[in-house]
Amino acid sequence: MAVTGRIDGVPHDVWHAEVLAPQFTYEAEHLLGHYLAIEKVLLLEYVRMDLVDDTGAATLGARLDTLSPDSVRADPEQNMSDISFAVERHVQAGNTPPHPAWHVDRSRNDLQACAQLMAAREDLAAVAEDLTAFARAVLGLAGRYTDTPMPGHTHGQAAQIISPGFHLTALAAETLGVLRRMLHTYDECDACPLGSGTMAGQELPWDRVRMAGLLGFARAQPHALVAVASRTWTTMIAGDLAHYAVVLSRFATDLMTWAGSGFGFLDLPDELAGISAAMPQKRNFPVLERIRGRCAHVVGRAADIAAGQRNTPYTNTVEVSKESGGHLRVQVDAMRSVLRLSHAVVGGATFRTDRMRAACAEDHLGGFTLANRLTLTYGVPWRTAQIIAGRYVRHAVRKGMRAGEPDAALLRGCAAESGHDLDDVGDLLVDAFDVDRGLRAKQSAGSTHPDRVRDLLADQDAELDVLGAAWAERAGRRDDATGRRAALLAALGQRSS
């Protein structure tokens, strides 16, 4: 039996090989389970509208349960290499009695949009789970290094004393931020397209709210055209992942810098290390390069998704729904790979406290503290205090002095050049340039002081619990919907027997 009466013939070999067959394979692998759930909800609606009786519904439901990626295949002659037609043929084949009203008032447009969105919701939730696990690992590593001094850099130069824990809580904060944004995106996208038809709605009284609930959606998409035409949810998801990939690439750059021989602050286990084929002395960390490189893939796919929708008509089009939308799966896979690699790195990383402390001691990172103390202790105007501290550091560097070698006479001389007489500044210099005191000099909330970092860690750990519960609630909604569908179909089967 022909699929359509509008055209004769079957899809061209090139059209089948280049487009239809690959699309069919993709949908059979990634969307067939969602198509099956949708078909069962549609079947329940046909029963509610008295278009299919209980016995017929039980028969159709049993036949639907035999659907699998192995049971359908792209066939230009039998189904035009279209998975929706393949599902119809599969259900109606064999000993299945004919049911004239099954699939009446139906369109592929909202069916496909719904399956794609269901898959995207699950993908987003899977990324959220990966991000949550990664954030836990980051917090664990940060907690081990809250009291460990290391140089913090601005403009490529050593600037102030921080700690690995302080830096890593920044990564945790960014990860929590994307988890919050993704949760908002999930809720924005959690509107079911099913029942919108081709673009203008449907002719039968479909209960769209009921269908949405049975598919685990929070609500039905209220506008039929938006349901089938909009792929804003793809750009929203892609944007969330791309934004985080940009941030993560910056932290990966810091890890690459710290792990390099120029610093030697960070080490990774042999299992995450590589070698040089020509230079036996080298121990490389190409995993960090892979992370940063794959972050670029995540960002690039977001650009592909947006570019694929730009200047297209606002209606259902294959260009938007399949050609552009297919990049979302690739982006998600790249993001999850990045997170698995990053999780392994964080789980295996150790910081070399001796190298970091030595680097702090070599530079005069207490200059800011010195200027503050000159103002607060001696009443030197702030800008003048900056000048005095800068002169002191300049002369100390020229003399080859280390930060831990205070020279009170030099400081008094620098102050005298600005018209200030300073006495008893020896202790001031010791305090200003002491490495451990430098780490604890900052007192404000969110600072690098170990106590403030521990406060951050506690707050971030608590927020992770809250976000984890929120994501679990949404997963529970999807699971509950699966159970409700199964119970309703089982009841049909019991009544029919």
Say whether 223 sits in a helix, a strand or coil.
Answer: coil
Tell me whether residue 154 is in a domain. Answer: no
Q: State how far the Cα of 248 lies from the Cα of 298, in Å rounded to an integer.
A: 11
Tell me whether residue 33 is in a domain. Answer: yes
Task: Return the pLDDT at 384.
Answer: 96
- The token duo for 131 is 């991000």
Tell me whether residue 496 is in a domain. Answer: no
| Percentage of residues of the chain with pLDDT beyond 70 | 98
Q: State how far the Cα of 104 lies from the Cα of 203, in Å rounded to an integer.
A: 10
- In this structure, the answer to whether residues 269 and 347 fall within a common structural domain is yes
- The token duo for 228 is 């089938």
Q: State how far the Cα of 126 lies from the Cα of 135, in Å rounded to an integer.
A: 14
- In this structure, the answer to whether residues 86 and 224 fall within a common structural domain is no
**Tens-place pLDDT, residues 411-423:** 999 999 999 998 8
* pLDDT grade for 5, boundaries at 50, 70 and 90: low
CA distances for 16 relative to 20, 74, 272, angstroms: 5, 9, 43
For the entire predicted model, the pTM comes to 0.93
Tell me whether residue 495 is in a domain. Answer: no
Q: For the chain, what is the domain count?
A: 3
Taking residues 5-29, report their average pLDDT. 86
Q: What range does the domain containing 403 cover?
A: 367-440
Q: Whose CA is closest to 33, among 64, 73, 78? A: 64
Q: State how far the Cα of 40 lies from the Cα of 57, in Å rounded to an integer.
A: 9
Tell me whether residue 75 is in a domain. Answer: yes
Task: Return the pLDDT at 279.
Answer: 74
201 pLDDT above the threshold of 90: yes
DSSP summary character for residue 270? G
Q: What is the CATH number of the domain that holds 215?
A: 1.20.200.10
Q: Whose CA is closest to 218, among 367, 139, 118, 348? A: 118
What are the residues facing 191 on neighbouring strands?
A: 219
Burial class (CB within 10 angstroms; exposed 0-12, middle 13-18, buried 19+) of 409: exposed
**Tens-place pLDDT, residues 435-464:** 999 999 999 999 999 999 999 999 999 999
474 pLDDT above the threshold of 70: yes
CA distances for 452 relative to 139, 140, 176, 369, 444, angstroms: 14, 16, 18, 18, 8
Which amino acid is located at 268 in the chain?
L
- In this structure, the answer to whether residues 200 and 263 fall within a common structural domain is yes
- In this structure, the answer to whether residues 230 and 296 fall within a common structural domain is yes
Which amino acid is located at 436 in the chain?
D
Task: Return the pLDDT at 278.
Answer: 75
Taking residues 369-375, report their average pLDDT. 94
Task: Return the pLDDT at 105.
Answer: 95
1 pLDDT above the threshold of 60: no
- In this structure, the answer to whether residues 17 and 86 fall within a common structural domain is yes
- In this structure, the answer to whether residues 260 and 138 fall within a common structural domain is yes
- In this structure, the answer to whether residues 373 and 287 fall within a common structural domain is no
Tell me whether residue 190 is in a domain. Answer: yes
CA distances for 250 relative to 32, 118, 246, 347, angstroms: 38, 32, 7, 19
Confirm if 195 and 206 have CB atoms less than 8 A apart. Answer: yes
Q: State how far the Cα of 52 lies from the Cα of 102, in Å rounded to an integer.
A: 7
Tell me whether residue 77 is in a domain. Answer: yes
- In this structure, the answer to whether residues 208 and 308 fall within a common structural domain is yes
- In this structure, the answer to whether residues 190 and 250 fall within a common structural domain is yes
- In this structure, the answer to whether residues 326 and 219 fall within a common structural domain is yes
- In this structure, the answer to whether residues 412 and 462 fall within a common structural domain is no
Q: State how far the Cα of 138 lies from the Cα of 42, in Å rounded to an integer.
A: 45
Which amino acid is located at 70 in the chain?
D
Q: Whose CA is closest to 455, among 444, 466, 468, 465? A: 444
Q: What is the CATH number of the domain that holds 391?
A: 1.10.40
Tell me whether residue 494 is in a domain. Answer: no
Q: What is the mean pLDDT of the chain?
A: 93
Place of tokens 């909202």: 110
* pLDDT grade for 164, boundaries at 50, 70 and 90: very high
* pLDDT grade for 251, boundaries at 50, 70 and 90: very high
- In this structure, the answer to whether residues 222 and 349 fall within a common structural domain is yes
- The token duo for 257 is 């810098």
